[in-house]
Structure 1
Amino acid sequence: MSDDRSELRTAAEKLHEAREGTDHADAAERLETYAEQVETMADADRGPDHGRLARLEHNLHDVQSDLDADATEAVKSALEHAQAYRSTVEGV
């Protein structure tokens, strides 16, 4: 199993980009929270499990409805990176 968390770090960067690219205050706050969570996952002693990553993916899909096209694209990119990392996680 690979535990290269660069995909998670990139996902966090994309979430910061999305936050900076939206005028929707609630969505910006949520995106900042998600970015911080992903950074924590990337830097933790042990990587996140499938359940935590699935919750993140669900939350990111949910927040997209409040975003414009550019911010939505950044969130989609973050999702792709999170899913790429998730594909390396053993289990389910």
Structure 2
Amino acid sequence: MSNSSSISEFLLLTFTGTRHLQLLHFWLFLGIYLTALVGNGLISTAIACDQRLHTPMYFLLNLALLDLGSISTTVPKAMANAIWDTRTISYTACVV
């Protein structure tokens, strides 16, 4: 008889066990996240609004959109873990 097991979630290591430092971690990551959203949003908007920038800045637009996608998957989960003091992530979220 085979014993097959499946992984449903992973345990994450916390930056610190101190609640005050976890809240500092949350606010620091929130600032970084909002700065990245605003900066990449401004880059995307400037390139989209000015016809002359479409061709020379095409690569920069792709980088801005890639950064928006990657930071929007990892940083909110790290912030939620810090604010709710959780240490798990689902397998699906880890793959994403």
Decide which structure has greater helix share: 1
The structure with the largest alpha-carbon Rg is: 2
Q: TM-score, normalised by structure 1?
A: 0.40
